[in-house]
Amino acid sequence: MSQFYQAERLALLPPYLFAEIDRVKAEVKAQGKDIISLGIGDPDLPTPDFIIAALCEAAKKPVNHQYPSYVGLLSYRKAVADWYKERFGVVLDPETEVVNLIGSKEGIAHFPLAFVDPGDTVLSPSPGYPVYGSSTGFAGGRVVSMPLLEENDFLPDLDAVSPDDWHKAKMIFVNYPNNPTSAMADRSFFEKLVQKCKEYGVILVHDAAYTEIYFDPNNKPLSILEIDGAKDVAIEFHSLSKTYNMTGWRTGMAVGAAELVKGLGKIKENMDSGCFQAVQEAGIAALKDGEPYAQSFRDVYRERRDGVCAALTKAGIEFREPQASFYVWAKTPAGYTSADFVTKVIRQTGVVLTPGTGFGAPGEGYFRISLTVPTPRLEEAVSRIVAL
């Protein structure tokens, strides 16, 4: 008997799908087997030293020991606007079209509270980042899943969403480069998405956490704000986490339509008191001078990607070679469900993969490999899978 009744919003969260896998992992570990986890999307490489040095300097300033502004330092928002101009050719007003976040997850989780009422419909990709569904649920919204299928290059089929759902929809979440499928969106998809959102009056939320993890400099991921008219309907979430190996630092940004940025700011004003200003100052340094480092991280991920793809080919496992993100989304061999295959691989090799179903039912038949482990360990892991 528990003493406290949980709020319904907690009971509504989807069941934890990894319990069985965690159990097998613990069992294999207890047998003394060497476990290699390719399950977590968290960069293994350290944050560049110059960013750490900027933090140390900024941490010494008494002004930074006080409450920060919940929308972020104006100097941080200006650095974001400068970076968007340089990287995407997108012009932003730092005063009204940029807000600092305590990591983009914080912003994504809070955003529906500003714009979704109980019963409102929210379109969300599946497989997808679980926060879209939980934040919608916390606001009382109803998720309509858009399956990401290989035959559509893992883009949602916007024409397969019924006109009724488009009419009812308040918001749509998309995420490219995509976690977990590693797919990229092309300009024509984004153009159609913006046009649909305008037609039906739907708020377009683009989660752009992986735009800087790309492998072809002639085919860089787009910001949704590069599309004509997008700023009328869209907000884009971005983060320093994946780009500069700063997941632990908790700093990011939301940019786009001033009204959407303002609504999110209102929620934040009442929920948190912003991101430590010393971290924001370090973030400014990263945005200004981080590009050569970001390039060196891309080179590391490319090398790892090539190694993993070669090994998967050798093992007869089907996949699409990722052009962006640090994930490989591969097919489970015939005769296995995602969970069965992942369980078998842990048992026999000690290598931990993520089952596709962990990101939603349409992820069945797939598993995800994360490239965020040191290269020799990754090589060891894939050689064990090949030998299976």
Ligand X SMILES: *Cc1c(COP(=O)(O)O)cnc(C)c1O
Residue whose CB is less far from ligand X, 234 or 311: 234
Residues 39, 43, 68, 103: which binds ligand X (CB under 6 A)?
103
HSE-up of 173 (CA within 13 Å, CB side)? 34
Q: Does 39 bind ligand X (CB under 6 A)?
A: no
Q: Does 124 bind ligand X (CB under 6 A)?
A: no
Q: Does 280 bind ligand X (CB under 6 A)?
A: no
Residue whose CB is less far from ligand X, 209 or 373: 209
Q: What is the crossing angle of helices 375-387 and 291-314, to 10°?
A: 10
Q: Cβ distance 130 to 292 under 8 Å?
A: no
Helix segments in 162-273, DSSP class H:
163-168, 187-200, 258-271
Q: Does 252 bind ligand X (CB under 6 A)?
A: yes
Q: Does 353 bind ligand X (CB under 6 A)?
A: no
Strand, helix or coil at 368? strand
Q: What is the smallest separation between the CB atom of 131 and ligand X, expressed in angstroms?
A: 7
Q: Does 175 bind ligand X (CB under 6 A)?
A: yes
Question: Interacting stretch for ligand X, rule CB under 6 A, among 59-67, 155-163, 239-247, 280-288?
Answer: 239-247
Token pair, residue 120, equals: 């409102």
Residues 80, 84, 94, 105: which binds ligand X (CB under 6 A)?
105
- How far apart are the C-alpha atoms of 258 and 281, rounded to whole Å? 24
Q: Cβ distance 197 to 161 under 8 Å?
A: no
HEC string of 27-65?
HHHHCCCCCEECCCCCCCCCCCHHHHHHHHHHHCCHHHH
Q: What is the smallest separation between the CB atom of 359 and ligand X, expressed in angstroms?
A: 10
* Residue in the structure block whose two tokens are 């399956």: 147
Residue whose CB is less far from ligand X, 278 or 385: 278
Residues 100, 121, 241, 280: which binds ligand X (CB under 6 A)?
241
Question: Interacting stretch for ligand X, rule CB under 6 A, among 62-70, 216-224, 236-244, 346-354?
Answer: 236-244
Q: Does 247 bind ligand X (CB under 6 A)?
A: yes
Within positions 194 to 213, which residues make up the interface with ligand X, using CB under 6 A?
Answer: 207, 209
**Cα–Cα–Cα angle for 244, 250, 253, nearest 5°?**
80
Catalog residues that contact ligand X under the rule CB under 6 A. 41, 103-105, 129, 175, 179, 207, 209, 239, 241-242, 247, 252
